[in-house]
Amino acid sequence: MSDGQRAVTSAPDPASHGRVPTGPPVVEATGIVKRFGPTVALNGARITIRPGETHALVGRNGAGKSTLVSVLTGLQAPDEGTVTFGGEPAPRPADRNTWRQRVACVYQKSTIIPTLTVAENLFLHRHDHGPTRLISWRATRRRARDLLATWSVDVDPQTLAGELSVEQRQFVEIARALSFGARFIILDEPTAQLDGAAINRLFERIRDLQGQGVTFLFISHHLQEVYEICDMVTVFRDARHIVTAPVAELPRTEMVAAMTGEAAADRQGERASTLTSGATAALSVRALRGDAYHDVSLQVGAGEIVGLAGAAGSGRTEVAETVVGLRAAAAGAVEIAGRRPRPGRVPAALAAGAGFVPQDRHHQGLVPDMSVADNATLSVPKRLGSNGFLSRSRRDRLAEGMIAYLAIKTPGPELPVSALSGGNQQKVVMARALANDPRLLVLINPTAGVDVRSKEFLLGKVEETARTGTGVLIASDELDDLRLCDRVLVMFQGRVTSEIARGWHDHELVAAMEGVDLHA
């Protein structure tokens, strides 16, 4: 096959997982073509998932993963090709009840209704009725309690869904899918909002459910998770199937090459420090204290890239948000390029020389109905005009320069930012952070939810920015985000507990983030 394509149809080694796939595939899609106007979203795509597998589907944004999910769940009918479940043809598109018995998808954005109870969500439109045809809430709650107990979901059925954690909502959605009879579950970026401990619990539940005959399709940008939980992996690129193989037989470098069409870069040891000696520090934090952190002091030099690592709840995100004014500390001081901005004021931090990429681009980083140009220039109104009047031509010139610099794929600056892919939306957020030529760039999980190639591109631009003398603070638990750092400060339970020099090993940093002393 050309372009690196190969198909490995052998099953995973039963000795490694204790499962030997038998019978027809749980689902098989062959020759799938799906067009949206001139765009070919799937071009002869295929996937085969065997009983008992956890099968990964990976690929860059735009590779066709989401379109395949819509086909496998009956939300879109393919223009060409076939889908079978257990060897039987897929139901008619309008037969939603039968689709629910075949497959369910737990999406990154929860479909649980927060104002309803867990029981109401589990049996929405399927409530028990008494002799008078009125809903029997007692019977509905009893069914919910039995269902949750059957699948070991430790949630009170009378709890409002809005009070559940992200992890609990995912388990409730899985239980709801199983209640329809589906034994094939698609997990779409299930770990995107979970910390390390919750991810481990999710993986334990996946393994438990596999033992009870449930099969999973696991979609994730985090390749280390694919190697940890999945038996098989299928890679898509440019709307086509590229490779299917047992995970254990596909090295990470080959998987990345299949996703991108080029060899993966090894970032470890790649960058020489550009710390500018004698220059005013880009950031000085002294004795910072708040609800989520205690006595935090750190410094980022001009041209230096410093990581702030830690698991969820460590305080790393809260410290970064305090630096840029999203939070106000109870005590302590923050200086940006020698200036002390007013605490708790984002405009003051930006005026002092900060640029900022927030943790959640959807809720903190973008105005979805506004254009790419407006989003990219929101932080620099003074560069666009004066006395409250903005020049559209100035805005567009600045935006077009950032679009070119960051290779944002858009037909023009007027396109609503909501029409872009996730990776390109993140580039727009980065564009706004860089628009004012910051002295300090603060990034919180800057590559969350973006594909491998976009991740490499964005981190490369961070390195370029540091070479101009800008200091960079990266608050993240993503190891790939932290590899380019000159040094990494590790937070645990609200305190900076260690400083690790460049060249660390994964197990060393992860152990520090989890509060484990390897030398004890």
Q: What is the 3-state secondary structure (H, E, C) of 188-256?
A: ECCCCCCCHHHHHHHHHHHHHHHHCCCEEEEECCCHHHHHHHCCEEEEEECCEEEEEEEHHHCCHHHHH
Q: In terms of domains, do 473 and 335 share one?
A: yes
Q: In terms of domains, do 508 and 399 share one?
A: no
| Domain-located, residue 427 | yes
CA torsion, ordered 187, 189, 191, 194, to nearest 10 deg:
-110
Q: Tell me the chain's radius of gyration from C-alpha atoms.
A: 25
pLDDT tens by residue, the chain, 520 residues = 334 444 444 334 433 444 445 679 999 999 999 998 888 899 999 999 999 899 999 987 678 998 999 999 999 999 999 999 999 999 998 898 899 889 988 887 777 888 888 888 888 876 555 565 666 677 778 888 888 887 778 888 888 888 888 888 888 888 888 888 789 999 988 887 777 778 888 898 899 888 888 999 999 877 778 999 999 999 999 899 999 999 999 987 788 788 877 554 444 445 555 666 667 899 999 999 999 999 999 999 999 999 999 877 789 999 999 999 999 999 999 999 999 999 999 999 999 999 999 987 777 778 888 888 888 887 777 766 666 666 777 888 888 888 998 888 888 888 888 888 878 888 999 998 998 899 999 999 998 878 778 888 999 999 999 999 999 999 998 888 999 999 999 998 899 999 999 988 877 887 788 777 655 5
What is the structure's pLDDT at 262?
A: 59
What is the structure's pLDDT at 130?
A: 54
Q: In terms of domains, do 297 and 428 share one?
A: no
**Cα separations in angstroms, 105 against 74, 96, 101, 123, 377:** 11, 13, 12, 17, 37
Give the residue numbers spanning the domain of 417: 360-435
Residue pair 288/297 in contact by the 8 Å Cβ criterion: yes
Alpha carbon of residue 193 to chain centroid:
7
What is the structure's pLDDT at 175?
A: 85
Residue pair 320/481 in contact by the 8 Å Cβ criterion: no
| Domain-located, residue 144 | no
Helix (H) or strand (E) holding 187: strand 184-188
What is the structure's pLDDT at 252?
A: 79
Q: How far apart are CA 226 and CA 247, in angstroms?
A: 8
The single-letter code of the amino acid at 478 is E
| Domain-located, residue 265 | no
Q: How far apart are CA 65 and CA 235, in angstroms?
A: 9
> Where does residue 108 rank: exposed (0-12), middle (13-18), buried (19+ CB within 10 A)?
middle
What is the structure's pLDDT at 176?
A: 83
The single-letter code of the amino acid at 32 is I
Q: How far apart are CA 31 and CA 82, in angstroms?
A: 7
Which of left, alpha, beta for 372 (phi over 0: left; psi -120 to 50: alpha)?
Answer: alpha
Closest CA to 218 of 246, 261, 185: 185
Q: In terms of domains, do 78 and 213 share one?
A: yes
- What's the number of domains the chain is made of? 3
- Helix then strand then coil, in percent of the chain rounded to 5, is 35, 25, 40
Number of H helices, E strands in the chain: 17, 22
Structure-token match 């934090």, residue found: 285
Q: In terms of domains, do 306 and 404 share one?
A: no
Burial 119-150 (b: 16+ CB within 10 A, else e): bbbbbeeebeeeeeeeebeeebbebbbebbee
Question: Which CATH number characterizes residue 203's domain?
Answer: 3.40.50.300
| Domain-located, residue 426 | yes
Q: In terms of domains, do 38 and 90 share one?
A: yes
| Domain-located, residue 234 | yes
Structure-token match 């059957």, residue found: 150
Helix (H) or strand (E) holding 115: none
Q: In terms of domains, do 230 and 379 share one?
A: no
Q: In terms of domains, do 15 and 70 share one?
A: yes
List phi, psi (to 5°) of 385. 165, -170
- Other beta carbons within 10 angstroms of residue 62's beta carbon come to 21
Structure-token match 């949206």, residue found: 36
What is the structure's pLDDT at 388?
A: 65
Q: How far apart are CA 94 and CA 190, in angstroms?
A: 28
Q: In terms of domains, do 199 and 335 share one?
A: no
Last residue of a domain, one of 210, 232, 260: 260
Q: How far apart are CA 365 and CA 400, in angstroms?
A: 19
Helix (H), strand (E), coil (C) string for 361-408: HHHHHCCCCCEHHHHHCCCCHHHCEECCEECHHHHHHHHHHHHHHCCC
Q: In terms of domains, do 330 and 367 share one?
A: no
Q: How far apart are CA 145 and CA 158, in angstroms?
A: 9
Residue pair 353/324 in contact by the 8 Å Cβ criterion: no
Residue pair 475/443 in contact by the 8 Å Cβ criterion: yes
Q: In terms of domains, do 346 and 371 share one?
A: no
What is the structure's pLDDT at 271?
A: 52
Q: In terms of domains, do 366 and 346 share one?
A: no
List phi, psi (to 5°) of 362. -70, -40
Which of left, alpha, beta for 353 (phi over 0: left; psi -120 to 50: alpha)?
Answer: left
Strand-pair category, 487-492 with 389-390: unpaired
**Cα separations in angstroms, 247 against 54, 233, 475, 502:** 10, 6, 30, 29
> Which pTM does this prediction carry?
0.56
Q: How far apart are CA 96 and CA 107, in angstroms?
A: 18
Residue pair 321/444 in contact by the 8 Å Cβ criterion: yes
Q: How far apart are CA 163 and CA 115, in angstroms?
A: 9
Strand-pair category, 283-289 with 331-336: antiparallel
| Domain-located, residue 312 | yes
Q: How far apart are CA 266 and CA 245, in angstroms?
A: 23
Q: Please, what's the largest Cα pairwise distance for the chain? A: 83
